[in-house]
Chains A and B, each alone.
Chain A
Amino acid sequence: MDSVSTQVSIKPYARPPKGSQPPLLYEPYRATIKRAPLKPMIVLPHTLSEVTGPIFGHEKVGEKDNDLTCQYPGEPIGERIIVSGRVLDSNGRPVPNALIEIWQANSAGRYRHIKEQHPAPLDPNFSGAGRTLTDEHGAYRFITIKPGAYPWFNHYNAWRPAHIHFSVFGTAFITRLVTQMYFPGDPLFAYDPIFQSIPDERARQRLISRFDLETTEPQWAKGFKFDIVLRGPEDTPFET
Protein backbone atom coordinates (compact mmCIF):
# COMPACT_ATOMS: atom_id res chain seq x y z
CA MET A 1 0.00 0.00 0.00
CA ASP A 2 2.64 2.50 1.08
CA SER A 3 4.61 2.13 -2.13
CA VAL A 4 1.67 3.32 -4.23
CA SER A 5 2.29 6.84 -5.47
CA THR A 6 -0.44 9.40 -5.03
CA GLN A 7 0.49 10.81 -8.43
CA VAL A 8 -0.92 7.89 -10.41
CA SER A 9 -2.37 9.24 -13.62
CA ILE A 10 -6.10 9.07 -14.21
CA LYS A 11 -7.27 7.13 -17.22
CA PRO A 12 -9.88 9.35 -18.90
CA TYR A 13 -13.06 8.16 -20.61
CA ALA A 14 -13.72 8.73 -24.30
CA ARG A 15 -16.14 11.56 -25.15
CA PRO A 16 -19.20 10.48 -27.16
CA PRO A 17 -18.99 11.21 -30.91
CA LYS A 18 -20.68 14.40 -32.11
CA GLY A 19 -24.36 14.00 -32.84
CA SER A 20 -24.70 10.71 -30.99
CA GLN A 21 -26.23 12.34 -27.91
CA PRO A 22 -29.21 14.71 -27.74
CA PRO A 23 -28.70 18.44 -27.16
CA LEU A 24 -29.84 20.08 -23.93
CA LEU A 25 -32.09 22.54 -25.73
CA TYR A 26 -34.40 20.97 -28.30
CA GLU A 27 -37.35 23.26 -28.84
CA PRO A 28 -39.75 20.68 -30.29
CA TYR A 29 -39.56 19.05 -26.83
CA ARG A 30 -41.13 22.03 -25.05
CA ALA A 31 -40.03 21.18 -21.53
CA THR A 32 -36.37 21.68 -22.49
CA ILE A 33 -36.94 25.40 -23.14
CA LYS A 34 -36.93 26.46 -19.48
CA ARG A 35 -34.70 23.66 -18.25
CA ALA A 36 -31.72 23.76 -20.60
CA PRO A 37 -28.67 25.69 -19.40
CA LEU A 38 -27.72 28.42 -21.87
CA LYS A 39 -24.31 29.44 -20.54
CA PRO A 40 -21.23 27.61 -21.79
CA MET A 41 -20.48 24.27 -20.15
CA ILE A 42 -17.04 23.83 -18.64
CA VAL A 43 -15.18 20.92 -20.21
CA LEU A 44 -14.03 18.82 -17.30
CA PRO A 45 -10.75 16.95 -17.50
CA HIS A 46 -11.44 13.62 -15.81
CA THR A 47 -10.25 13.31 -12.22
CA LEU A 48 -10.69 10.47 -9.79
CA SER A 49 -14.13 11.89 -8.99
CA GLU A 50 -15.31 11.23 -12.55
CA VAL A 51 -13.71 7.85 -13.24
CA THR A 52 -15.01 6.25 -10.05
CA GLY A 53 -18.64 5.54 -9.29
CA PRO A 54 -20.96 3.31 -7.31
CA ILE A 55 -20.60 -0.41 -7.81
CA PHE A 56 -23.59 -2.41 -6.71
CA GLY A 57 -23.78 -5.96 -5.50
CA HIS A 58 -26.51 -8.53 -5.39
CA GLU A 59 -27.97 -7.01 -2.25
CA LYS A 60 -29.61 -4.41 -4.52
CA VAL A 61 -31.62 -6.94 -6.45
CA GLY A 62 -34.23 -9.49 -5.46
CA GLU A 63 -34.29 -12.84 -7.21
CA LYS A 64 -37.50 -12.11 -9.13
CA ASP A 65 -36.97 -8.36 -9.64
CA ASN A 66 -36.34 -8.92 -13.35
CA ASP A 67 -39.74 -10.54 -13.89
CA LEU A 68 -42.44 -7.87 -13.96
CA THR A 69 -45.12 -10.48 -14.66
CA CYS A 70 -44.91 -12.24 -11.30
CA GLN A 71 -44.98 -9.45 -8.73
CA TYR A 72 -48.62 -10.03 -7.82
CA PRO A 73 -50.85 -13.05 -7.30
CA GLY A 74 -52.47 -12.58 -10.72
CA GLU A 75 -50.92 -12.14 -14.15
CA PRO A 76 -50.81 -8.70 -15.76
CA ILE A 77 -52.88 -8.10 -18.90
CA GLY A 78 -51.06 -7.68 -22.19
CA GLU A 79 -48.52 -9.13 -24.54
CA ARG A 80 -45.81 -10.98 -22.58
CA ILE A 81 -42.30 -10.20 -23.83
CA ILE A 82 -38.70 -11.06 -22.98
CA VAL A 83 -36.27 -8.15 -23.26
CA SER A 84 -32.63 -9.14 -23.17
CA GLY A 85 -29.25 -7.94 -24.34
CA ARG A 86 -25.76 -7.07 -23.27
CA VAL A 87 -24.14 -4.04 -21.71
CA LEU A 88 -20.76 -3.29 -23.32
CA ASP A 89 -18.42 -0.36 -23.17
CA SER A 90 -17.36 1.53 -26.28
CA ASN A 91 -14.23 -0.62 -26.49
CA GLY A 92 -16.37 -3.74 -26.75
CA ARG A 93 -15.71 -4.96 -23.22
CA PRO A 94 -18.69 -6.48 -21.43
CA VAL A 95 -19.79 -4.58 -18.32
CA PRO A 96 -20.53 -7.15 -15.62
CA ASN A 97 -22.48 -6.34 -12.45
CA ALA A 98 -24.11 -3.27 -14.01
CA LEU A 99 -27.30 -2.32 -12.19
CA ILE A 100 -30.17 -1.90 -14.68
CA GLU A 101 -33.44 -0.41 -13.50
CA ILE A 102 -36.49 -0.21 -15.75
CA TRP A 103 -39.89 1.42 -15.54
CA GLN A 104 -42.75 1.52 -18.01
CA ALA A 105 -46.45 1.98 -18.67
CA ASN A 106 -48.77 -1.03 -18.60
CA SER A 107 -50.28 -2.51 -21.75
CA ALA A 108 -52.92 0.23 -21.80
CA GLY A 109 -50.30 2.98 -21.73
CA ARG A 110 -50.80 3.91 -18.09
CA TYR A 111 -48.08 4.39 -15.47
CA ARG A 112 -48.68 3.58 -11.85
CA HIS A 113 -47.68 7.09 -10.81
CA ILE A 114 -49.53 9.55 -8.63
CA LYS A 115 -49.40 12.34 -11.25
CA GLU A 116 -50.39 10.19 -14.19
CA GLN A 117 -53.59 11.59 -15.76
CA HIS A 118 -54.10 9.45 -18.85
CA PRO A 119 -57.58 7.92 -18.48
CA ALA A 120 -56.53 4.37 -19.22
CA PRO A 121 -56.97 1.53 -16.72
CA LEU A 122 -54.39 0.60 -14.12
CA ASP A 123 -53.54 -3.06 -13.96
CA PRO A 124 -53.70 -4.35 -10.38
CA ASN A 125 -51.14 -6.99 -11.28
CA PHE A 126 -48.51 -4.74 -12.82
CA SER A 127 -46.19 -2.22 -11.15
CA GLY A 128 -44.17 -1.44 -14.27
CA ALA A 129 -40.89 -1.43 -12.36
CA GLY A 130 -38.01 -3.88 -12.23
CA ARG A 131 -34.25 -4.21 -11.82
CA THR A 132 -31.43 -6.62 -12.44
CA LEU A 133 -27.64 -6.89 -12.53
CA THR A 134 -25.72 -7.93 -15.64
CA ASP A 135 -23.89 -11.24 -15.39
CA GLU A 136 -20.16 -11.79 -16.01
CA HIS A 137 -20.72 -11.44 -19.79
CA GLY A 138 -22.62 -8.19 -19.40
CA ALA A 139 -25.90 -9.98 -20.22
CA TYR A 140 -29.29 -9.15 -18.74
CA ARG A 141 -32.87 -10.33 -19.19
CA PHE A 142 -36.28 -9.01 -18.20
CA ILE A 143 -39.71 -10.58 -18.55
CA THR A 144 -42.45 -8.00 -18.84
CA ILE A 145 -45.55 -6.85 -20.72
CA LYS A 146 -45.33 -4.79 -23.87
CA PRO A 147 -46.14 -1.21 -22.84
CA GLY A 148 -48.82 0.77 -24.63
CA ALA A 149 -48.27 4.14 -26.30
CA TYR A 150 -49.58 7.06 -24.26
CA PRO A 151 -50.63 10.66 -24.91
CA TRP A 152 -48.87 13.70 -23.48
CA PHE A 153 -49.25 17.45 -23.65
CA ASN A 154 -46.15 18.50 -25.57
CA HIS A 155 -48.12 19.50 -28.68
CA TYR A 156 -51.55 18.88 -30.15
CA ASN A 157 -52.34 15.16 -30.34
CA ALA A 158 -48.94 14.14 -29.02
CA TRP A 159 -48.33 10.44 -28.34
CA ARG A 160 -45.19 8.78 -27.10
CA PRO A 161 -44.11 5.68 -29.02
CA ALA A 162 -44.23 2.60 -26.78
CA HIS A 163 -41.06 2.48 -24.70
CA ILE A 164 -39.35 1.09 -21.63
CA HIS A 165 -37.20 3.45 -19.55
CA PHE A 166 -33.74 2.08 -18.77
CA SER A 167 -31.33 3.35 -16.12
CA VAL A 168 -27.84 1.83 -16.16
CA PHE A 169 -24.79 2.19 -13.92
CA GLY A 170 -21.46 1.33 -15.48
CA THR A 171 -17.99 1.49 -14.02
CA ALA A 172 -17.78 5.25 -13.44
CA PHE A 173 -20.15 8.03 -12.39
CA ILE A 174 -19.80 9.58 -15.85
CA THR A 175 -20.82 6.40 -17.66
CA ARG A 176 -24.24 6.67 -16.03
CA LEU A 177 -26.95 6.28 -18.66
CA VAL A 178 -30.68 6.82 -18.60
CA THR A 179 -32.38 6.03 -21.88
CA GLN A 180 -35.52 4.60 -23.45
CA MET A 181 -35.93 1.42 -25.44
CA TYR A 182 -38.41 1.45 -28.32
CA PHE A 183 -40.05 -1.27 -30.42
CA PRO A 184 -39.42 -1.83 -34.12
CA GLY A 185 -41.73 -0.28 -36.67
CA ASP A 186 -43.57 2.12 -34.37
CA PRO A 187 -45.53 4.62 -36.52
CA LEU A 188 -45.10 7.29 -33.83
CA PHE A 189 -41.33 7.70 -34.23
CA ALA A 190 -41.72 10.41 -36.85
CA TYR A 191 -43.83 12.55 -34.49
CA ASP A 192 -41.89 12.07 -31.27
CA PRO A 193 -39.50 14.91 -30.36
CA ILE A 194 -37.80 12.90 -27.63
CA PHE A 195 -36.79 10.17 -30.06
CA GLN A 196 -36.04 12.71 -32.80
CA SER A 197 -33.80 14.81 -30.53
CA ILE A 198 -30.78 12.66 -31.35
CA PRO A 199 -29.11 14.26 -34.37
CA ASP A 200 -27.30 11.22 -35.71
CA GLU A 201 -29.62 8.85 -37.55
CA ARG A 202 -27.61 5.72 -36.77
CA ALA A 203 -27.33 6.57 -33.08
CA ARG A 204 -31.08 7.20 -32.96
CA GLN A 205 -31.84 3.82 -34.51
CA ARG A 206 -29.84 2.20 -31.73
CA LEU A 207 -32.68 2.94 -29.32
CA ILE A 208 -34.96 0.59 -31.22
CA SER A 209 -34.90 -2.97 -29.97
CA ARG A 210 -35.14 -5.76 -32.53
CA PHE A 211 -37.45 -8.72 -32.58
CA ASP A 212 -35.44 -11.89 -31.95
CA LEU A 213 -36.76 -15.33 -32.74
CA GLU A 214 -33.93 -17.02 -30.85
CA THR A 215 -34.97 -15.60 -27.49
CA THR A 216 -38.67 -15.94 -28.30
CA GLU A 217 -40.20 -18.78 -26.31
CA PRO A 218 -42.76 -20.94 -28.15
CA GLN A 219 -46.33 -20.61 -26.94
CA TRP A 220 -45.24 -18.12 -24.30
CA ALA A 221 -43.45 -14.82 -25.08
CA LYS A 222 -41.84 -12.83 -27.89
CA GLY A 223 -38.18 -11.90 -27.53
CA PHE A 224 -36.71 -8.43 -28.12
CA LYS A 225 -32.98 -7.68 -28.09
CA PHE A 226 -31.62 -4.41 -26.77
CA ASP A 227 -27.86 -4.01 -26.41
CA ILE A 228 -26.55 -1.02 -24.50
CA VAL A 229 -23.17 0.64 -25.04
CA LEU A 230 -21.71 2.77 -22.24
CA ARG A 231 -18.73 5.06 -22.56
CA GLY A 232 -15.45 3.24 -22.13
CA PRO A 233 -11.96 4.34 -21.14
CA GLU A 234 -9.97 6.12 -23.83
CA ASP A 235 -7.79 3.21 -24.90
CA THR A 236 -7.30 0.50 -27.44
CA PRO A 237 -10.32 -1.56 -28.40
CA PHE A 238 -10.84 -4.95 -26.83
CA GLU A 239 -9.02 -7.66 -28.79
CA THR A 240 -11.60 -10.12 -30.02
Chain B
Amino acid sequence: MKPEIDLVPTPSQTVGPFFAIELTTDEHCIKCVAGPQAQGKRVWITFRVLDGDGAPVNDAMLEIWQADANGKYKHPEDVQPKKLNAGWMGFGRIATGEDGSCVLETIRPGRVAQGTPQAPHLTIAVFARGMLKPLYTRVYFAGDAANDEDPILRLVPAERRETLLARPDPARPGYWSFDVRLQGDQETVFFEV
Protein backbone atom coordinates (compact mmCIF):
# COMPACT_ATOMS: atom_id res chain seq x y z
CA MET B 1 0.00 0.00 0.00
CA LYS B 2 1.39 3.38 -0.97
CA PRO B 3 1.26 5.94 1.80
CA GLU B 4 -1.34 8.44 0.66
CA ILE B 5 -0.05 11.25 2.82
CA ASP B 6 2.75 13.70 2.49
CA LEU B 7 5.67 12.39 4.52
CA VAL B 8 7.06 15.71 5.71
CA PRO B 9 6.91 15.54 9.53
CA THR B 10 3.80 17.12 11.01
CA PRO B 11 4.53 20.66 12.26
CA SER B 12 4.77 21.28 15.98
CA GLN B 13 2.33 23.60 17.76
CA THR B 14 2.50 25.01 21.26
CA VAL B 15 1.16 22.99 24.20
CA GLY B 16 -0.70 26.17 25.15
CA PRO B 17 -1.84 27.06 28.67
CA PHE B 18 -4.19 24.15 29.33
CA PHE B 19 -2.11 20.99 28.80
CA ALA B 20 -2.35 20.14 32.50
CA ILE B 21 -5.83 18.67 32.04
CA GLU B 22 -4.22 15.69 30.32
CA LEU B 23 -0.44 15.75 30.39
CA THR B 24 0.30 16.67 33.99
CA THR B 25 -2.64 15.49 36.01
CA ASP B 26 -1.64 13.82 39.30
CA GLU B 27 -2.01 10.52 37.51
CA HIS B 28 0.09 11.43 34.48
CA CYS B 29 2.96 13.35 36.09
CA ILE B 30 6.08 11.28 36.75
CA LYS B 31 7.98 13.16 39.44
CA CYS B 32 10.17 10.23 40.34
CA VAL B 33 12.09 8.56 37.53
CA ALA B 34 13.67 5.89 39.71
CA GLY B 35 11.48 3.35 41.46
CA PRO B 36 12.32 2.27 45.02
CA GLN B 37 14.43 -0.66 43.81
CA ALA B 38 16.50 1.35 41.29
CA GLN B 39 20.23 1.16 41.94
CA GLY B 40 22.39 4.25 42.06
CA LYS B 41 22.89 7.44 43.94
CA ARG B 42 19.53 9.09 44.54
CA VAL B 43 19.30 12.79 43.59
CA TRP B 44 16.65 15.49 43.74
CA ILE B 45 16.97 18.16 41.07
CA THR B 46 15.09 21.43 41.46
CA PHE B 47 14.44 22.97 38.07
CA ARG B 48 13.52 26.59 37.64
CA VAL B 49 12.24 27.92 34.30
CA LEU B 50 12.74 31.65 33.71
CA ASP B 51 11.79 33.88 30.79
CA GLY B 52 13.72 36.74 29.15
CA ASP B 53 12.84 39.09 32.03
CA GLY B 54 13.98 36.54 34.58
CA ALA B 55 10.35 36.01 35.55
CA PRO B 56 9.27 32.51 36.54
CA VAL B 57 7.48 30.51 33.86
CA ASN B 58 4.62 28.96 35.79
CA ASP B 59 3.11 26.99 32.94
CA ALA B 60 5.97 24.89 31.60
CA MET B 61 6.28 21.14 31.39
CA LEU B 62 9.60 19.32 31.48
CA GLU B 63 10.06 15.84 30.14
CA ILE B 64 13.14 13.90 31.17
CA TRP B 65 14.82 10.95 29.51
CA GLN B 66 17.80 9.21 31.04
CA ALA B 67 19.80 6.01 31.35
CA ASP B 68 19.98 3.91 34.53
CA ALA B 69 22.90 3.86 36.98
CA ASN B 70 24.89 1.68 34.56
CA GLY B 71 24.37 4.04 31.64
CA LYS B 72 21.86 1.73 29.98
CA TYR B 73 18.66 2.93 28.29
CA LYS B 74 15.48 0.91 28.22
CA HIS B 75 15.22 0.82 24.46
CA PRO B 76 15.93 -1.68 21.66
CA GLU B 77 18.52 0.65 20.05
CA ASP B 78 20.67 0.35 23.16
CA VAL B 79 22.85 -2.69 22.47
CA GLN B 80 25.50 -1.95 25.08
CA PRO B 81 26.44 -5.20 26.81
CA LYS B 82 25.03 -4.07 30.14
CA LYS B 83 22.16 -5.32 32.22
CA LEU B 84 19.26 -2.89 32.65
CA ASN B 85 18.12 -2.23 36.22
CA ALA B 86 14.98 -4.21 36.97
CA GLY B 87 11.90 -2.06 36.46
CA TRP B 88 13.86 0.82 34.93
CA MET B 89 11.96 3.11 32.55
CA GLY B 90 13.95 6.37 32.55
CA PHE B 91 11.14 8.79 31.76
CA GLY B 92 9.92 11.70 33.85
CA ARG B 93 7.34 14.46 33.39
CA ILE B 94 6.93 17.42 35.71
CA ALA B 95 5.14 20.78 35.58
CA THR B 96 6.36 24.08 37.03
CA GLY B 97 4.46 25.75 39.84
CA GLU B 98 3.75 29.45 40.44
CA ASP B 99 7.42 30.10 41.26
CA GLY B 100 8.53 28.48 37.98
CA SER B 101 10.10 25.55 39.76
CA CYS B 102 9.59 21.82 40.05
CA VAL B 103 11.51 18.95 41.59
CA LEU B 104 12.55 15.70 39.96
CA GLU B 105 13.60 12.69 41.99
CA THR B 106 15.87 10.26 40.20
CA ILE B 107 19.24 8.53 40.37
CA ARG B 108 22.44 9.82 38.90
CA PRO B 109 22.77 8.02 35.57
CA GLY B 110 25.87 6.09 34.51
CA ARG B 111 27.94 6.81 31.43
CA VAL B 112 26.44 5.86 28.09
CA ALA B 113 29.18 4.29 25.97
CA GLN B 114 27.58 3.27 22.71
CA GLY B 115 29.52 5.50 20.34
CA THR B 116 31.88 7.97 22.04
CA PRO B 117 31.48 7.62 25.83
CA GLN B 118 29.39 10.42 27.32
CA ALA B 119 29.42 11.95 30.78
CA PRO B 120 26.38 11.25 33.00
CA HIS B 121 23.50 13.40 31.77
CA LEU B 122 19.75 13.77 31.56
CA THR B 123 18.05 14.84 28.34
CA ILE B 124 15.31 17.43 28.87
CA ALA B 125 12.53 18.62 26.59
CA VAL B 126 10.87 21.87 27.67
CA PHE B 127 7.31 22.68 26.61
CA ALA B 128 5.29 25.80 27.41
CA ARG B 129 2.76 28.29 26.21
CA GLY B 130 4.67 30.75 24.05
CA MET B 131 6.90 27.99 22.70
CA LEU B 132 5.86 26.77 19.28
CA LYS B 133 8.10 23.73 19.60
CA PRO B 134 9.94 22.03 22.45
CA LEU B 135 13.42 23.07 23.51
CA TYR B 136 15.95 20.34 24.13
CA THR B 137 18.73 20.68 26.64
CA ARG B 138 20.91 18.43 28.80
CA VAL B 139 21.65 18.34 32.49
CA TYR B 140 25.20 17.37 33.46
CA PHE B 141 26.48 17.21 37.02
CA ALA B 142 28.98 19.90 38.07
CA GLY B 143 32.26 18.42 39.20
CA ASP B 144 31.91 15.12 37.35
CA ALA B 145 35.35 14.09 36.09
CA ALA B 146 33.83 12.76 32.86
CA ASN B 147 32.46 16.17 31.83
CA ASP B 148 35.79 17.24 30.32
CA GLU B 149 35.74 14.44 27.79
CA ASP B 150 32.05 14.57 26.96
CA PRO B 151 31.67 14.86 23.17
CA ILE B 152 28.55 17.02 23.38
CA LEU B 153 29.82 19.47 26.01
CA ARG B 154 32.85 19.93 23.78
CA LEU B 155 30.60 21.26 21.01
CA VAL B 156 29.43 24.03 23.31
CA PRO B 157 31.50 27.22 23.54
CA ALA B 158 33.42 27.01 26.83
CA GLU B 159 31.83 30.14 28.25
CA ARG B 160 28.32 28.69 27.84
CA ARG B 161 28.95 25.18 29.21
CA GLU B 162 28.15 26.28 32.75
CA THR B 163 24.51 26.61 31.79
CA LEU B 164 24.34 22.83 31.33
CA LEU B 165 25.65 21.98 34.79
CA ALA B 166 23.37 21.15 37.69
CA ARG B 167 24.77 22.62 40.91
CA PRO B 168 24.90 20.70 44.19
CA ASP B 169 23.34 22.22 47.29
CA PRO B 170 26.24 22.31 49.78
CA ALA B 171 23.84 22.12 52.70
CA ARG B 172 21.84 19.13 51.50
CA PRO B 173 23.64 16.13 50.03
CA GLY B 174 21.83 14.70 47.01
CA TYR B 175 20.05 17.98 46.22
CA TRP B 176 20.89 19.78 42.99
CA SER B 177 19.51 22.75 41.11
CA PHE B 178 19.28 23.55 37.42
CA ASP B 179 17.95 26.76 35.90
CA VAL B 180 16.39 26.78 32.45
CA ARG B 181 16.83 30.34 31.25
CA LEU B 182 14.91 30.73 28.03
CA GLN B 183 16.54 34.02 27.11
CA GLY B 184 19.09 36.60 28.24
CA ASP B 185 22.78 36.80 29.15
CA GLN B 186 22.73 33.50 31.00
CA GLU B 187 20.53 31.81 28.42
CA THR B 188 20.69 28.02 28.72
CA VAL B 189 22.27 26.16 25.84
CA PHE B 190 19.59 24.51 23.75
CA PHE B 191 20.23 21.88 21.14
CA GLU B 192 18.89 21.57 17.65
CA VAL B 193 18.14 17.88 17.57
Give the nearest-CB partner of B185 in chain A: A39
Residues of A close to B11: CB separation below 8 A: 20-22, 179, 198, 203-204, 206-207
B146 sits at the interface (CB 8 A): no
Which residues 8-22 in A have Cβ within 8 Å of B in the complex? 8-11, 16-17, 20-22
> Is there contact, CB below 8 Å, between A32 and B130?
yes
**Contacts A37-B182, A42-B189, A178-B15 known; A24 to B132 CB distance under 8 Å?**
yes
Residues of A close to B10: CB separation below 8 A: 177, 179, 206-207, 228-230
User: What's the Cα separation between A43 and B106 when bound, in Å?
Assistant: 27
**Contacts A34-B182, A178-B13 known; A44 to B152 CB distance under 8 Å?**
yes
User: Which of B1, B6, B15, B16 is packed against the most chain A CB atoms within 10 Å?
Assistant: B16
Give the nearest-CB partner of B189 in chain A: A42
> Is there contact, CB below 8 Å, between A34 and B51?
yes
Which residues 129-162 in B have Cβ within 8 Å of A in the complex? 129-136, 138, 151-152, 155-156, 160
Which residues 185-214 in A have Cβ within 8 Å of B in the complex? 194-195, 197-198, 200, 202-204, 206-207
> Is there contact, CB below 8 Å, between B13 and A22?
yes
> Is there contact, CB below 8 Å, between B130 and A29?
yes
B12 sits at the interface (CB 8 A): yes
> Is there contact, CB below 8 Å, between B65 and A10?
no
Of B3, B21, B73, which one neighbours A48 at CB under 8 angstroms?
A: B73
Of A17, A38, A52, which one neighbours B187 at CB under 8 angstroms?
A: A38
Residues of B close to A26: CB separation below 8 A: 132
User: What's the Cα separation between A10 and B117 when bound, in Å?
Assistant: 13
> Is there contact, CB below 8 Å, between A46 and B12?
no
> Is there contact, CB below 8 Å, between B135 and A37?
yes
**Contacts A34-B130, A52-B75 known; A177 to B21 CB distance under 8 Å?**
no
> Is there contact, CB below 8 Å, between B183 and A44?
no
Residues of B close to A91: CB separation below 8 A: 7
A23 sits at the interface (CB 8 A): yes
Using a Cβ–Cβ cut-off of 8 Å, how many residues does chain A contribute to the interface with B? 88
Of B17, B21, B113, B191, which one neighbours A6 at CB under 8 angstroms?
A: B113
Of A31, A39, A43, A128, which one neighbours B130 at CB under 8 angstroms?
A: A31
> Is there contact, CB below 8 Å, between B2 and A103?
no
Of B17, B182, B192, which one neighbours A43 at CB under 8 angstroms?
A: B192
User: What's the Cα separation between A177 and B154 when bound, in Å?
Assistant: 28
User: What's the Cα separation between A190 and B188 when bound, in Å?
Assistant: 34
B121 sits at the interface (CB 8 A): yes
User: What's the Cα separation between A173 and B193 when bound, in Å?
Assistant: 10
A116 sits at the interface (CB 8 A): yes
> Is there contact, CB below 8 Å, between A24 and B133?
yes
> Is there contact, CB below 8 Å, between A229 and B114?
no
User: Which of A42, A128, A207 is packed against the most chain B CB atoms within 10 Å?
Assistant: A42
> Is there contact, CB below 8 Å, between A47 and B112?
yes
A101 sits at the interface (CB 8 A): yes
A215 sits at the interface (CB 8 A): no
> Is there contact, CB below 8 Å, between B22 and A167?
yes
Of B18, B25, B89, which one neighbours A54 at CB under 8 angstroms?
A: B89
Contact with A along B77-96 (1 / 0, CB 8 A): 11111000000011100000
Nearest first, the 9 A-B pairs at minimum CB distance are A31-B130, A52-B75, A22-B132, A54-B91, A129-B22, A103-B22, A35-B130, A44-B191, A34-B52
Residues of A within 8 A of B (CB): 1-2, 4, 6-11, 16-17, 20-24, 26, 29-39, 41-55, 88, 90-92, 101-103, 111-113, 115-116, 127-131, 165, 167, 172-174, 176-180, 194-195, 197-198, 200, 202-204, 206-207, 227-231, 237-238, 240
Query: 27 pairs across A/B with beta carbons < 8 Å?
Result: A6-B81, A6-B113, A20-B8, A24-B133, A31-B129, A36-B183, A39-B189, A42-B156, A47-B114, A47-B118, A47-B152, A48-B73, A48-B112, A48-B115, A49-B67, A49-B121, A52-B74, A111-B18, A128-B21, A167-B15, A173-B63, A178-B15, A178-B127, A195-B13, A207-B10, A229-B9, A240-B3
